Amino acid sequence: MGASLVAALRFAMAELASHEAPGPTIPHVSPRRLLLARVRQWTAVVVLGLGAVAELSRQLQSWSTPSYHFDPAWMFYFAGATGLALRVFWARYLAICFCSAIMAVTFFYGPTPASAFAFGVPFIALLAGRTMRALFEENPGWLNRWANRLDARVARLRVLFVAQSVAVALLWAAGDRLSPLAMPLSVAAGVSLVGLVLLQVWGALAIAPLIAAQIYVATQSIGLHPHRGEPPGWAFTAVLFAACALSLVVIAPLLRASFLALRSAVRASSP
């Protein structure tokens, strides 16, 4: 039965990689638009680089204090800035997902909810669009040798990555104030998303139970106020539920294909 499940998941993931409609065609970019895209690229690099320095400085200053709490934000700032500078295809997706996570956290934990969008929306606009996609996905070199193959998978799952970025960020920020499971779930969800990008069976096996666990933790936030910002407590629950629901909608075709393939395998092995 276990072998049938693995075979079914492999079949479903192969379907995801090869038989669904491809992502949008990369357009030809004129020299003028390419120059503007490079300006946008390096503007994003500078913004993320400054964010990495600021976050790392804050972490070092609070290192010896009793209230120290590890925050991996500086690592994502640094990885995003480095990847964008090298024009690695995954860096644009990482930066957009990370910005979505920062917007969600700032909305609930920042000084005002509006401040979440004042920075996040313009930054996402810097990296969005077909011209920026062409700048990164058409960049030759060994760093991008898997770009065309992996970009098709990421394009189909981009809503999942953004939704899970929001869910993971909110669970990590709430931490033990919400549930002891919140932070371990955040780490596990991030690892499973990497597995999905690489079409690993363990990523497909893990993502659905992890989303179910996120929904369970979200139910624990009902009636609570796990954040420090102005929005009411129900808003935190509503955003977390919405992120989980979007994630389920995106992986529903994968789950359906896995179920059908598993059912066929079981019927074939039955006497």
Q: d(Cα 29, Cα 82) in Å, to the nearest integer?
A: 24
Give the pLDDT confidence score for residue 100 in this predicted structure.
93
Task: Indicate the residue type of 133.
Answer: R
- What are the tens digits of pLDDT across the range 1-18? 555 555 555 655 555 544
Q: Could you give the CA distance from residue 37 to residue 42 in angstroms, rounded to a whole number?
A: 9
- Locate the domains of the chain by residue range: 1-25+157-271, 27-137
According to the model, what pLDDT value does residue 123 have?
93
**Region label for 199, one of left (φ > 0), alpha (ψ between -120 and 50) or beta (otherwise):** left
Lowest mean pLDDT among 44-53, 94-103, 193-202, 231-240: 193-202
Mean pLDDT of 20-26: 46
| Contact in structure between 219 and 208 (CB atoms under 8 Å) | no
DSSP 231: S
Q: Is the per-residue pLDDT at 61 higher than 90? A: no
pLDDT band at 19 (very low <50, low <70, confident <90, very high): very low
Closest CA relative to residue 174, chosen from 97, 112, 234, 236: 236
Q: How far is CA 154 from CA 62, 119, 147, 265, in A?
A: 36, 25, 10, 28
Its pTM stands at 0.80
pLDDT > 70 in the chain, percent: 75
